[in-house]
Structure formats: C-alpha cells, structure tokens
Amino acid sequence: MTASTQTPIIPIKSSSEPPAVIAPATDIFTARATRFEQLATGHTLGDWLRFLAVISRTQHDALQKLPVLPLPTADALQQAREHRMPPLPAQHWQRDPAWHGVLRQLATTVTPAAPEAARADLARIATLPADKLEELAERVLHTELYGDDAALLPYVGAALQVLWTGLAQRVGAGITVLDVLGVCPCCGFLPVASIVKTVGETANLRFLHCALCNTEWNLVRVKCAACDANDGISYRQLEGAGVKNPEAMRAETCDSCKSYLKIVYTERGGVDPVADDLATLALDILVDEAGYARAGPNLLLVPGNG
C-alpha cells in the first residue's frame, strides 16, 4: 500500500457551477440518527428504526475516534482522476484493520439497545477472529448479503461505512464523476438511493448517494442509474391511508433493465437516503411485485432478514 500525508485535495470548480461530487458531511451519521428517530414515531417498524438510530450515533462516535489512516498518494489520486477510476475502490483498496476495532466497539455499544434476537449475533462478533471479519467484509463489499452469518452483515456494513466515510471525507470532492455513471466516483460501490436537492446551488439537481462511503454524485434526472437508459423510466409511490408524505419517496423504475432505485425529495428537509429508504420497505415490496429488482443495496439491511 502506498501512503502519504499530503494536504487534502481542494475541489476545483467555478463559482457558478454546482459540484458534480459532494463529499460526505461531517455530521452525516448524527443527521441520519435524528432522521431514523423521526421516522420511528408511529411507524410499524419503530423499534427497529430506533435501534438503527443508535447504530448511526455509534457510527458517528467511531468516526470521531478513527485513527488518521493512509490515503492514496497525490500521484495515485491524480491517476484516478485521469483514468476516471475511483481512488478508494471498495473491492480493491487495502483496507486498514482499524475497522475491526470499529466493529467490535459498535457491537458492544449497541447491545443494550438491541432487540433480544440480535444480542447473540452481537455477542458473537466480539469472538470472531480477524480472518473471519475480513471474510464477512468481502461479502459485504461484493454485495453478497445472504447465506451463513447473514445476520452479522449489517454490523459489518456499518463498520465499513465508518472506515470508507472517514477516508472519503479526507479525499474530499476533488474527484471526478466516472464514465460508469451508476457507481460511486470515490469507492466504485453502488448507490443506496438518489436524492433531489431543493436548496442552494444544487437545487433541482439529483444526486446518487453511495451505500458505502456516503459520497454523492450528480446524475441527470429521469435516467436509469443501472443502465443509463432515458426511455421507459417511470415512478411509483405508495398510496392509501396511513402513508405519510408518499410523494417524498418514489421508486424510479427502468423498463430496459427492470431495475429500480428509490428517489427521495428534500422538500421537507432532514431526509436521509439510508434512513428514508429503510422506512419505506413497503415501496420495495410494491415494485418487487411489479417485476423490478433493486439496483443498489442498503448495507444496514439483509434482504429477507430485516
């Protein structure tokens, strides 16, 4: 692994142009925790959403305590820009074992708030050797969120999010959107959802939100993030009594590749792509039944296990 301690990259952009890439905010995990708590009120999955709020707050604390880890060298960052490659690729970056400590600490900290059924899983995490943790990480980073020990994967995902978010914050926004529009320009991972901004210089622009490092990148609206198609895009939302603000979250479905990704609108403020995604699993069931497959994962959820 190459490393340097160079100064952070300063984003280069003209003052009139909105950013194409937005680095993760320093308060990303506390804002997410607050949103989970809001969404939990009156929700049928309220207890689970409140537990996820505790996980998000623990992620924030872990991020503050994360050691200063090596970043790609200035040359490597420059090469990544020139070749339009992600500088911190999820599947190839030699991750620092510091994330093991993040995971074990997270498992201990969230246990008092955990549902009874999750406590044995959390206790087990403390006993797993490093090579087993790395094996679980490989599964998360290759989005193989099923099989033996699948119940452990959301915690592994949460710890890896801390690691990658910390690195992404330090690399900053000085990275370019890739030729492959549907993957994160910072880590090459898939988006969890997209978000349409409504205020400031990014108003009316749509950004995809990375499921791993929380970087956001611009993608024009009415375009499939998975296959780039512009035709055959449509939007579905939940209807009926008891659905709060259905228009705030829609599923953008693509008839070319039969995939979908959710799109969240920020009109009411305080939304979070990860939290709002998990509060609207009924929408996933709706579009799944209509024959569309989800284009990007939510690492806090094991499909069929949540």
- Binding residues for Zn ion, rule: CB under 5 A, are 184, 186-187, 189, 210, 212-213, 215, 224, 226-227, 229, 254, 256-257
What's the min distance (Å) between Cβ of 28 and Zn ion? 12
Nearer to Zn ion, 151 or 227 (CB): 227
What's the min distance (Å) between Cβ of 53 and Zn ion? 22
Nearer to Zn ion, 107 or 158 (CB): 158
Can you say whether the dihedral through the CA atoms of 246, 276, 28, 185 is positive or negative?
negative
What's the min distance (Å) between Cβ of 113 and Zn ion? 27
Closest by CA position to 281, among listed 61, 43, 41, 33: 43
- Print the SS3 string covering 128-191: CCHHHHHHHHHHHHCCCCCCCCHHHHHHHHHHHHHHHHHHHHHHCCCCCCCCCCCCCCCCCCCE
What's the min distance (Å) between Cβ of 2 and Zn ion? 20
Nearer to Zn ion, 103 or 175 (CB): 175
Q: What is the rounded CA–CA span in Å between residue 250 and residue 283?
A: 8
DSSP-assigned beta bridge partners for residue 303: none
What's the min distance (Å) between Cβ of 135 and Zn ion? 22
Nearer to Zn ion, 60 or 104 (CB): 60
Longest CA span, the chain: 56
What's the min distance (Å) between Cβ of 259 and Zn ion? 5
Neighbouring C-alpha atoms within 13 Å toward the C-beta of 212: 26
Nearer to Zn ion, 48 or 292 (CB): 292
What's the min distance (Å) between Cβ of 165 and Zn ion? 9
Nearer to Zn ion, 227 or 286 (CB): 227
Closest by CA position to 235, among listed 211, 264, 206, 210: 264
User: CB–CB of 103/155 below 8 Å?
Assistant: yes
Nearer to Zn ion, 136 or 210 (CB): 210
User: CB–CB of 247/215 below 8 Å?
Assistant: no
Closest by CA position to 181, among listed 120, 229, 236: 229
